[in-house]
Structures are given as structure tokens and as C-alpha cells.
Amino acid sequence: MTTYSDFQSAIDHAYNRMKASTPHHRGKWQGVDVSRKPEAITNELHHYVMQVPMSLTDLNYYRETIKPNLPWADDHFAERVGGHPLNPGVEWRNWPWGVSADRSRIDPVTVGDPTQERIFDHTYAMRYWPKHAGQYPRGIIPSNVDHTPVHRGIYYDYGDLGDVVEELRRDPTTRQAILPVFFPEDTGYRLGRRKPCSLFYHFMRVNSSLDISYQLRSCDMAHHFRDDIYLTVRLLLWVLDELKKTERSWGQILPGTFCMMIANLHMFRNDYIQLTRGAT
């Protein structure tokens, strides 16, 4: 595993590796048959790992070195950490490829209700705040509702991003602070349905810094790679800020190592052609 001096070096290396990658045709994309579409051929890197030391808290530095889609990435991050399990939310429309995302929406759970907007199989807001996901229109929890979790696992109630922060507050040296995005309901064959690309985030304090490990099963390099990196950096900074609000011992803790592990980093054919012609 290579440790890079900064995010720009890590991203440049990934693009250079992709240029030398080999093509694959997997037959399905997001559960949809694309076997007869040559443009669905992907160039792929397998089990790709990048590790970058952070330490800085200056968002402008990360905006300049990672180059995410702005202002969308900042607006979408606010939606993710806003505390409500939104579906569909608002910011998906403002994503540069929002028209493509719209094709992935499905009929709402409340069949026949004309006031319900079409939804997604999942959203990051739902997976960050799953306790009441699917219980209220568009995922917004009324202020007067009983906040007892309505989702229960095998033995315990669902946790959420707030619980991860609380775990780190109560036990700063824990190795168990994990925020899952891929849930048991995502397991198994689902014809025509999407599954989360992200698997989990793992937070771990090492001496005077807080590290984050981000595991993905799949990542589209042209459309998601830079944004995924930036949104994870923002999540680490957000968790640190939340801890510093209530716990003095976290006051001097800095962002630490960023580690991203992608089982399948890929580029579709037309994007790969643009990359090899010099456009990234």
C-alpha cells in the first residue's frame, strides 16, 4: 500500500494506473442488463488502496487539492449529516449527472399515494440516520414524534451517525466506531435494484489524531471518485467538530490518516477514451 504526500498526488496516481488498466464487460450495471451495450465496457482497477495523511482542517485546501464537484458536494454533505433520513432529498437533482440518477428512482413504498415523490432504493442520509428511515414522508421526522428507534436489529435497536460520535466520546480509544452503509437488506440477488457502493466508514483515534478508513465495493472514477474522497474528508472533519463541542479531551486532536479501499475502481468506455486523450 502506497502512502501519498497529498490528495492530488494520490488522485494523479490513480488516473495514471487507470490509463494502463484492462477492459471488462460485466453484463449488468446497477442491476440493469447492459450486455449489449459496448459503451458499458469498463476499464478496472481491483482492490485499489490509497492512504493520505491529513492533519489540516482547512476545507479550502481540500477543495483545491481534491477538486470535487462544487458547490454540489458541500450542499450534498449538509444533506447527509442533517439528521434526517431523507429520500429522495433535494441535492440529487443538483448533481452534475442528476438526469442519470433520476432513472434509478423507484415507486414509493406507499403505493398509490400521489403526494409521494419517487424514491431511491437507498440514500446516504437514510444510511447515516436509519432509525426512522422510511417511516415519514420524504424521511423528515416531525418534531413531536417519539424518537424511540423503529428499526431493530437481531438483538438491538439501530444505531446511527450520532451514536458513532457518542461511542468515540465515551471511549476515545475504541476500535469499534464503525458507520455501516451496506445493510443486511442489501445482501442477495435483487433484480433491477441498486445496492450501496459504500460499505462502511471506520473511525479510530491514534495518539493525537483521528483516522478514517473508507471501504467501497465499487466506484466510478469519472463520476464519483473525487466526490467520494472529499465527502469522506468532510465526514471526518464533521465527526471531529462534533466531538470537540462536548468533550475537552478532543480539543487538540487533528484529522489523521485517510485510507480508502475500493474493490472495483472503474471507468466506462467513453470516459476512459477521454482520459487517455488527456481529459480528466
Q: What count of Cα atoms within 13 Å lies in the side-chain half-sphere of residue 215?
A: 10
The pLDDT of residue 191: 79
d(CA 146, CA 142): 9
Decide: helix, strand or coil at residue 22: strand
Radius of gyration of the chain (CA): 19
What stretches of 76-235 adopt beta strand conformation (E)?
177-180, 198-206, 209-216, 219-220
Q: Which parts of 31-176 are beta strand (E)?
A: 32-33, 42-53
List Cβ neighbours of 121 (8 Å cut-off, separation of 6 or more). Answer: 104, 106, 193, 194, 195
Neighbours of 160 (CB within 10 A): 21
Write down the pLDDT at residue 135: 81
CB of 47 closer than 8 Å to CB of 261: yes
User: What is the DSSP code (8-state) at residue 152?
Assistant: B
Q: What is the pLDDT of residue 32?
A: 63
> Each residue of 33-88: pLDDT tens digit?
666 677 778 999 999 999 999 999 999 999 999 999 999 999 999 999 999 999 99
Beta carbons within 8 Å of 173's beta carbon, 6+ residues apart = 205
pLDDT score of 110: 55
pLDDT for position 193: 83
Q: Are 205 and 243 in contact (CB under 8 A)?
A: no
Longest dimension (CA), the chain: 58
Q: Is the pTM above the cut of 0.85?
A: yes
Q: Which domains does the chain have, with CATH numbers?
A: 7-276 (3.30.572.10)
Other beta carbons within 10 Å of 263: 16
Report the DSSP pairing between strands 32-33 and 28-29.
antiparallel
pLDDT of residue 225: 98
Residue 52 CA to residue 66 CA, distance in Å, equals 12
pLDDT < 50 regions, the chain: 111
